[in-house]
Structure 1
Amino acid sequence: MTGLPPGPRLPALLQTVLWAAAPARFGKVCLRRYGPLFTTRILGFGTVVYISTPDGIRRILRDDADNFDAAAANESIRFVVGEHSLLMSDGPAHTDRRRALMRPLHGENVAAYVEVMVSIVEQEVRRWQEGATVRLLDCFQRVTIEVMIRAVFGITDSARLDRLRVLVPRLLDLNPLIILLPVMRRSFGGFGPWTAFQRILREVDEIIFAEIRERRAALAADPGRRGPDVLSHLLAGQDRVPATDREVRDHLVTLLAVGQETAATQLAWFFERVLRTPGALAQVRDAVRDEDWKVLDAAIHESIRVRPTTLDIGRIALGPWESDGYVFPAGTMFAVSLGLLHLSEDLHEDPETYSIERFHPVEPPSAHFLPFGGGNHRCLGASLAIVEMRTVISTILRHVRLGVRRAAPERVVPKGPMLVPRRGAEVVVVHNQLTAPSPGRR
C-alpha cells in the first residue's frame, strides 16, 4: 500500500501545539481515532509516523533494528550530550560505547550505590515536618541529582558538589524552543535561551573536566584507588582503550540528562498513584516491611506503565520498510510509542487504573510492557533506575507516613520532554520518625 497511515488533518502548527501542550492526551485521542499506526506533522520533526503495536515495536527495536537509525532521531539533543554520547551512535561505535558503560551500571557496582542512596534520602526526609505539604517532584529531583553526582560521578569535593546542585537543574530545564527549532540555537545579541544554556553548559563542563583531570592523575599515581562509580571505571578503561576526556564527559552528561529527571519524575508518579490506591499502598508497605522486592518491583512497574515519563522514542528508516500493509520509504521518521503501548485498551484492561496485580504474581507478556525500550538501544541504566526507585521508596516508607494533599488525581502535564504531575505530586506528611521528637522531649 502506498502513502502513509491516516492521522489528524489539522495544520502542522496546530498539531505541534497540541502535541507540545498535552502530548499524552493528543496521543491517546489519535490512538482511539486512528488505531496504533497513525501519521502526524510536527514542526521541527516533519512527518512522524506513530507506531504502538507490539509486533511493530519489536521489529523496529530488535528484529529489523539494522534498518533504523537511532542516532539521527536523537540529533536534536546532540548539543547537550555531545558527539560521543551513546545516544548519538549506532553499529560498532554504539556497541563499543555501550560496553564501556555496562560494567559500572550493573551487578555489584549498582549494589555499592545503595548505602549512599539511603543516606541521601534520609537527609532529604529530615526536612519534612509533620503536617507540612511537600512537593515530592522537587524533593526527588534533589535526591536523584545527589545520587548522580555523588554515587555515579563519584564527586566528593564540597565546592563542586554545591555548584553542581545549583547548575544541574538549570541545565536540564531546557527551553523546548532550542530543541524543536534549530534556528533558535544562536545568540541574539548575548541574550535569549541559547545564550543562557551555553553559559550553564560551559560551567558544568568546566567542573566535569576538572574532576576528570584530577581523578586521572590520582589513578595514575595509585591504580588501587579506583572507586565503584562510573567515572572511575571509564577512566580505568578495563574493557577497551581508555576513553578520552571528551568521551568521558559525554558519557557522564548523557547519564545525567537521561537518568536524573526520568528517575525523579517516575518516583513522583509512583507516590501520586499509590497514595490514591489504598489497597496498593497496603501491599507496598507490607512488601517493604517483609523486603518482598517482587511485590515492590511490581508496584514500580505498574506506575511506569500507567504514568510514563515520556511517550516515545525516535527511529528513522534507513531503507524501505513494510508493516501493516504499508511500505514506508527510506527517511520515514517513526515515533515508537511505548507510552501508547502501555496505555492500549486492547492490551491492558482498564489501562488508566493502577493495579499491582497486572505484574504480580503473573507478569504481562514482555511485548506488552517495555519500560526501558528494547534491542541494542535498551536503556543501559535500567538496573540502576530500578535499584534507585526501590531504595528511595523503601527508605521513605520505613520512616514516613504520607497522605494525599487533594483527593483528585493530578493531571499529566509536559515539562520539557517529561510528563510530570501538575502539582508536583503534593503530599501531606502525617508522621515522620526522622523528625518527630523523642517521648522525653515532648
Structure 2
Amino acid sequence: MSSAVARRAAMPPGPRLPALAQTVLWAVAPVRFGRSCTRRYGPVFTARILGFGDVVYISTPEGIRRILRDDAARFDAAAANESIRFVVGEHSLLMSGGAEHTERRKVLMRPLHGDNVAAYVEVMESVVEQEIRRWPPGSTVRLLDCFQRVTLEVMIRAVFGITDSARLDRLRALVPRLLAVNPLIILLPALRRRFGGVGPWAAFQRLLAEVDRIVIAEIRERRARIAADPGSRGGDVLSLLLTQGGENPPLTDRELRDHMVTLLAVGQETTATQLAWFFERVVRAPGALDRVEAAVRAEDWKVLDAAIHEAIRARPTTLDIGRVVTEEWTAEGYTFPAGTLFAVSLGLLHLSDDLHPRPDDYAIDRFHPVEPPSAHFLPFGGGSHRCLGASLAMVEMRTVIAAVVRDVRLRARRAAPEAVTPRGPMLVPRRGAEVVVVANRVAAGRE
C-alpha cells in the first residue's frame, strides 16, 4: 500500500465521490454537503477538496475546544489562511501565529474595544438612518444590499476615518468588488498568473492595486497631519494605530495597510450578511419580530443579544475555520500526521441536532433567559485567535437592528425561507433577504 493510500485509510471516513464532485458540492451547497456528511459519517469526517487535498471536518465540542484552545500551540492558523495572503498581506493578523500573533493582536486590540467602540455608535446611527430614508412604504428592499452599504460606510468612516469625498466615493465602488473575489483564484493557485493582462487574476490585481493606492495615500497623509498637529488625531481605528504608545514600535505604512484591509475583508461583509440573516429569520418566526421590537423599546439588550445569537447560530455566515496541525496529534480515536488540514466547523456545531434540538427553527428562547453551554456556541471562534472585531460587530448589529425596528415595520416578501447560497467566502440569503416595507416613520418625514 502506498503512503498516500495508507494515510487516507487512517483518516476518518468520508464520501467516496471523486474529489471534483466533492469540491463542486462543497462550493455550491457547503451547508447541505456538510450536514449530509455529518449524518452519514458522524461529526468527524474527511472530504477531498481540490486545491486543499484531504480536509478533516470536526464539529464536536471537545475536538473544537482542543484545536482552538487546549492544543492551540500545535496548530497553525496562518498556514490554513495561506490562500488569502494575496488579499490581506503578509502583516495581517490572519497570517501570523505564536508570539508574533500575540504582539499583532495586542496592537489592534485597543482601538477595537471598550470606549473606542462605543464612540462609533453615533456614526452607525447616522449611517443607518440615511439608509432607512431610502425605503419608502410599500417598497421591496434587499436587506443584504442595504446592510452592505451601511457596514461599508461605517468601516470607511469609523475604522478608516476617511473624509475626502473623492476617496470615499471610490472606495464605495471598489470595496464590494474587492470582497467579491473570484473563488477560483483562491482555490486554484495555478490561475494566479496574468496571462497577458487578461483573466480573473490580472483583473483582481488591478483592483487591489487601486484600493492599496487609496489606503496608503490616506495613511501617509494622516501620518503627516498628525505629526504636524497632534491635536488633529481622530478617534477612528487608523488614527489610534498611528498614535499608539507604549513599547510597540511605530507601524509601517505596509503594516497599517494590511491591518486595515484585513478589517475590511473579514469584518464588513460578515456583519452585513449576519444582519441580513437576522431579519430574514426574525420576520418569519412567529412572534419573533414583535419580541425584538418590545426588547428595543424597553432597552432590554439581553433579549436583543439572544435574538442576534440565535440568528448567528441558525444561519452562520461562514461554515469553518481552518487549522493545520504541526505535529502528530491524536483525537476522536484517530492519529493525525503533521500537515493535516482541519476544517473546524463552527457552523456544523451550531446546526447539530444533538446540541440544538430542531436546529432549523429560529427560537430566541435558546439564548434567553438561559444560554446554551459556551462549548456549544462559539459565534466568534475561540482561543487566542477569537475574532478581534467581535465587540465592534456586536455593537454594530445592536445599533443597526435597534434603529431599524424603532422606525420601520417589515414583513417577509415570501413565506418560504430563503435558501443559503455561497457568495465567495460568505453564506448569504439567496434573494438577499427581501422584505416589504409596511411602514417607515423616517421616510415619512419624522423629525
Q: Which residue of 2 aligns with 1:314?
A: 322
CA–CA distance in structure 2, aligned partners of residues 56 and 176 of structure 1: 28
Identity %: 77
> Aligned to 2:114, which of 94, 107, 115?
107
SS at match of 1:243: coil
Q: Which residue of 1 aligns with 2:262?
A: 254
1:386-401 aligned at under 5 Å gives the runs: 386-401=394-409
Q: Which residue of 1 aligns with 2:47?
A: 40
CA–CA distance in structure 2, aligned partners of residues 47 and 314 of structure 1: 13
SS at match of 2:409: strand
CA–CA distance in structure 2, aligned partners of residues 399 and 199 of structure 1: 41
**Residue identity matched to 2:40:** R
Q: Indicate the larger mover: 236-245 or 311-320.
A: 236-245
Q: Which residue of 1 aligns with 2:126?
A: 119
Superposed displacement of residue 177, structure 1: 0.5
Q: Which residue of 2 aligns with 1:277?
A: 285
Superposed displacement of residue 228, structure 1: 1.6
Q: Which residue of 1 aligns with 2:147?
A: 140
Does 1:325 find its partner at 2:315? no
CA–CA distance in structure 2, aligned partners of residues 167 and 130 of structure 1: 31
- Structure 2 length as normaliser, TM-score? 0.97
Give structure 2 stretches of 5+ with no counterpart: 1-6
1:399-414 aligned at under 5 Å gives the runs: 399-414=407-422
CA–CA distance in structure 2, aligned partners of residues 231 and 138 of structure 1: 26
CA–CA distance in structure 1, aligned partners of residues 385 and 229 of structure 2: 35
Q: Which residue of 1 aligns with 2:428?
A: 420
Superposed displacement of residue 437, structure 1: 5.2
CA–CA distance in structure 1, aligned partners of residues 441 and 191 of structure 2: 49
Give structure 1 stretches of 5+ with no counterpart: none
**Residue identity matched to 1:332:** T
Over 3 Å counting, the alpha-carbon distance change for 1:437 and 1:142 in structure 2 is: closer
1:218-367 aligned at under 5 Å gives the runs: 218-239=225-246, 240-367=248-375
CA–CA distance in structure 1, aligned partners of residues 240 and 125 of structure 2: 23
Superposed displacement of residue 69, structure 1: 0.3
Runs (4 or more) in structure 1 with deviation over 6 Å come to none
Q: Which residue of 1 aligns with 2:437?
A: 429
**Residue identity matched to 2:47:** T
**Residue identity matched to 1:226:** R
Aligned residues: 439
CA–CA distance in structure 2, aligned partners of residues 438 and 373 of structure 1: 41
> Aligned to 2:383, which of 342, 354, 375?
375
Q: Which residue of 2 aligns with 1:200?
A: 207
SS at match of 2:280: helix
> Aligned to 1:211, which of 187, 197, 218?
218
CA–CA distance in structure 1, aligned partners of residues 383 and 446 of structure 2: 53
Superposed displacement of residue 279, structure 1: 1.4
Q: Per-residue displacement from partner, 1:82-131 (whole Å, max 9, x unpaired)?
A: 00000000011111110111000000000000000000000011011110
Root-mean-square deviation (Å): 1.2
Q: Per-residue displacement from partner, 1:213-262 (whole Å, max 9, x unpaired)?
A: 11101111122222221101111122411100000000000000000110
SS at match of 2:31: helix
Does 1:69 find its partner at 2:76? yes
CA–CA distance in structure 1, aligned partners of residues 95 and 274 of structure 2: 25
Does 1:169 find its partner at 2:156? no
